[in-house]
Amino acid sequence: MAAAITFGDFPLIHPDTIEVGVGELALAQHPKLLITLALGSCVGISLWDATLKQGGLAHVMLPHPPESMPTRDLHRFASVAVPDMVRLMAEKGSARRRLVAKIAGGAAMFASDTGIATIGDRNVAEAKRQLELLNIPLIAEDTGGGHARTVELHLDTGAFRVRSYLYGIREL
């Protein structure tokens, strides 16, 4: 049996956890928990339906795919992942009008991340733009800065827990 992974006194992974990798998205229903690790300039985008106690979590790396991009691995891009997650949740019974979103990440992780818009800034902007286009309210965010984050979406309450070594645990 594997030892539990902890963050201070808090378990980081519990048995009902679904880990969302970089460039992936996942949907689940309570009692499952969705988690994505080590968001730097990437953005974690969550959608939650309180009525069905189900949600989705995407870990996006970039705002848009390049024009020559093959059709695989497109969930790495906010412009693809957000509409796909909304569509997939609708297929599982979630009415768009019930969905709410929370996001985290979009940090400027390196000294070279300077200028008007870092990749993290652009990822956050595209995530927000997609949510706005789909009329999904963004009700909370923890974005920017220069630190990595791990996020988890609790599907019973919609709590979006953001963990960082610099700032501890914050619940949105």
- Which H/E stretch holds residue 60? strand 54-60
Phi-psi region of 102 (alpha: psi -120 to 50; beta: other; left: phi over 0): beta
Q: How many CB atoms lie within 10 A of CB 49?
A: 23
Contact assessment for residue 113 and residue 145, using Cβ atoms and an 8 Å cutoff: no
Structure-block tokens of residue 42: 């990437």
Q: Which residues contact 97 (CB under 8 A, 6 or more apart)?
A: none
DSSP character at residue 96: G
Alpha-carbon gap, residue 35 to 154, rounded angstroms: 9
- 10 classed as catalytic: no
Query: Of the listed 33, 37, 42, 119, which one is catalytic?
Result: 42
Catalytic positions, written as ranges: 42
